[in-house]
């Protein structure tokens, strides 16, 4: 109830501003020209509309944050630095505890063993997990992508088969969309799926398939229409089932991990599909040539979750820098007393909070059921640029120690760089944003 009372109060306040603007317009015409007043009125109406969908965190949201923060501080923070240093994978025990806490089923409906929470709750969980280690927050992303694809576009049989396991964390998934010669250019994908009997035969290459070795299901985008001129109109989405292991375990799929600068804890693979058979009931929606459109609709959820991860990572970097600035002394006083450091902290905090609110706003839009590719793109690109700035400035505040592995700030810096590259590069996000703005 408190949430709605706050909304009513804010909306009423904005309405009062509109009334005041109207009175000013009618009784001070000699002082204000009509164009200026009209613009002011339109601006206030837009503000009123924006506030009406602005998310306000409830006590339930704050309880979720406290619970996830406690889990992160107890289970993730103590081991993250050492695991990253030796490029070890996230312990299965952590993933199992995440499953027991329901983190993989947050946004999925209870009829499929999900919790049925809103997207703001999902963002809070991703944010707090990523504050401990970006990779842990990222484990959820794969489940969100596959689960959302099945929930939105799958047949009822596919939903019953896959969704409960995904929501319970018993079925782990990985996305195989990118190819060596086609990243953002989805329409140029070459991996072929040829109909044969009651299934399809997959042949081709995929790359940057993160978590592939530990996934029970690979979500694979493949070309079912051989006509290259069809581009994105000839793609279909498949669910390829496999065994879990330390390496890729499938008789017709081979792969090698890709060495990376950061984002350890999960291995990213280049995969080769060689006569890989997939039963036709694992074609999402049982419809050919719909894969691109299914994927684009799913990207809203993935980009919101990715933006939330950036916020969590930046929060960790900011907290570390703030704490260090109070502890580190130079010239007889803590470095936080120096204006140069205070300016950095102020700018870091401001950008971080702006990104967080943009993420929550975009999640609020998603929760209304409205199209939000514009808002999701804004949240993703702004958060990506923000986390690079915050982690870089955190390293600067640490000085030489920031460049050493003695402190986690260098890990934050390495991990932060990947946000602008995956789930659609920042350049692609700007293109999406501009295209949508020009449609409005």
Could you state, in order of their start, the residue ranges of all structural domains in the chain?
2-52, 174-289, 295-439
Of the listed ranges 183-187, 202-206, 353-357, the one predicted with least confidence: 183-187
> Considering the chain, what is the average pLDDT of its residues?
88
**Percent with pLDDT over 70 in the chain:** 86
Verify whether residue 243 is a known catalytic residue: no
Report whether pLDDT(410) > 50: yes
- The Cα 132–Cα 25 span in angstroms is 53
What DSSP character marks residue 73? I
- The Cα 87–Cα 82 span in angstroms is 8
- pTM more than 0.75: yes
Q: Are strands 199-210 and 268-279 parallel, antiparallel or unpaired?
A: antiparallel
Within 8 A by CB and 6+ apart from 75, the residues are: 94, 97, 132
C-alpha to C-alpha distances, 257 to 87, 146, 212, 243, nearest whole angstrom: 12, 21, 9, 17
Of the listed ranges 185-189, 201-205, 256-260, 403-407, the one predicted with least confidence: 185-189
pLDDT score, position 42:
46
Report whether pLDDT(370) > 90: no
Report whether pLDDT(29) > 70: no
Catalytic member of 423, 427, 431, 439: 423
Domains 174-289 and 295-439 share a fold: no
How many other CB atoms sit within 10 Å of the CB of residue 365? 23
H runs (alpha helix) in 113-223: 119-132, 134-153, 156-168
Average of per-residue pLDDT across 166-189: 87
The neighbouring-strand residues paired with 174 are: 218
pLDDT score, position 34:
52
Query: What own/partner pairs with CB < 8 Å and gap ≥ 24 does 256-261 have?
Result: 257/213, 258/207, 258/208, 260/418, 261/414, 261/417
Residue 20's pLDDT band (cuts 50, 70, 90): very low
State the first-to-last Cα distance of the chain, in angstroms, to the nearest integer: 34
CATH superfamily of 295-439: Butyryl-CoA Dehydrogenase, subunit A, domain 3 (1.20.140.10)
Average of per-residue pLDDT across 112-129: 95
CATH superfamily of 174-289: Butyryl-CoA Dehydrogenase, subunit A, domain 2 (2.40.110.10)
Report whether pLDDT(7) > 80: no
432 against 172, higher pLDDT: 172
- The Cα 26–Cα 122 span in angstroms is 47
Within 8 A by CB and 6+ apart from 62, the residues are: none
- The Cα 239–Cα 215 span in angstroms is 11
Report whether pLDDT(237) > 90: yes
Q: Are strands 217-223 and 235-241 parallel, antiparallel or unpaired?
A: antiparallel
Report whether pLDDT(381) > 90: yes
47 against 217, higher pLDDT: 217
Average of per-residue pLDDT across 165-192: 88
Of the listed ranges 20-34, 78-92, 114-128, 353-367, the one predicted with least confidence: 20-34
């Amino acid at each position: 109830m408190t949430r709605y009372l706050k909304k009513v109060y804010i909306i009423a306040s904005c309405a009062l501003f509109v009334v005041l603007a109207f009175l000013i317009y009618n009784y001070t015409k000699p002082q204000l020209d009509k164009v200026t007043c009209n613009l002011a009125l339109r601006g206030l109406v837009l503000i009123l509309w924006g506030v009406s969908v602005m998310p306000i965190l409830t006590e339930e949201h704050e309880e979720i944050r406290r619970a996830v923060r406690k889990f992160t501080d107890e289970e993730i923070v103590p081991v993250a630095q050492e695991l990253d240093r030796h490029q070890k994978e996230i312990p299965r025990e952590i993933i199992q505890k995440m499953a027991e806490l329901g983190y993989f089923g947050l946004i999925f409906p209870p009829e499929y063993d999900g919790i049925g929470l809103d997207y703001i709750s999902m963002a809070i969980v991703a944010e707090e997990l990523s504050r401990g280690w970006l990779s842990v927050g990222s484990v959820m992303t794969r489940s969100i992508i596959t689960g959302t694809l099945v929930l939105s576009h799958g047949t009822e049989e596919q939903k019953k088969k896959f969704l409960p396991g995904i929501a319970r964390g018993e079925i782990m998934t990985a996305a195989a969309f990118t190819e060596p010669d086609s990243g953002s250019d989805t329409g140029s994908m070459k991996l072929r799926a040829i109909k044969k009997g009651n299934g399809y035969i997959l042949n081709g290459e995929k790359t940057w398939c993160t978590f592939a070795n530990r996934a029970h299901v690979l979500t694979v985008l493949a070309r079912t229409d051989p006509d290259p001129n069809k581009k994105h109109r000839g793609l279909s989405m498949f669910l390829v089932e496999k065994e879990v292991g330390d390496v890729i375990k499938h008789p017709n799929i081979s792969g090698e991990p890709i060495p990376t600068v950061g984002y350890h804890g999960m291995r990213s693979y280049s995969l080769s599909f060689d006569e890989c058979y997939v039963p036709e009931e694992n074609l999402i929606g049982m419809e050919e040539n719909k894969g691109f459109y299914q994927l684009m609709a799913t990207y809203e959820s993935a980009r919101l979750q990715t933006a939330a991860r950036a916020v969590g990572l930046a929060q960790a970097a900011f907290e570390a820098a703030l704490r260090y600035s109070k502890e580190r002394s130079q010239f007889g006083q803590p470095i936080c007393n120096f204006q140069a450091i205070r300016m950095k902290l102020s700018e870091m905090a401001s950008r971080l909070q702006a990104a967080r609110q943009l993420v929550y706003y975009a999640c609020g839009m998603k929760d209304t059921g409205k199209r939000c590719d514009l808002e999701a793109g804004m949240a993703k690109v702004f958060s990506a640029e923000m986390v690079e700035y915050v982690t870089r400035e955190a390293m600067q505040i640490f000085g030489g120690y920031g460049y050493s592995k003695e402190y986690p700030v260098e890990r934050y810096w390495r991990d932060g760089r990947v946000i602008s590259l995956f789930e659609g590069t920042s350049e692609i996000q700007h293109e999406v944003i501009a295209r949508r703005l020009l449609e409005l």
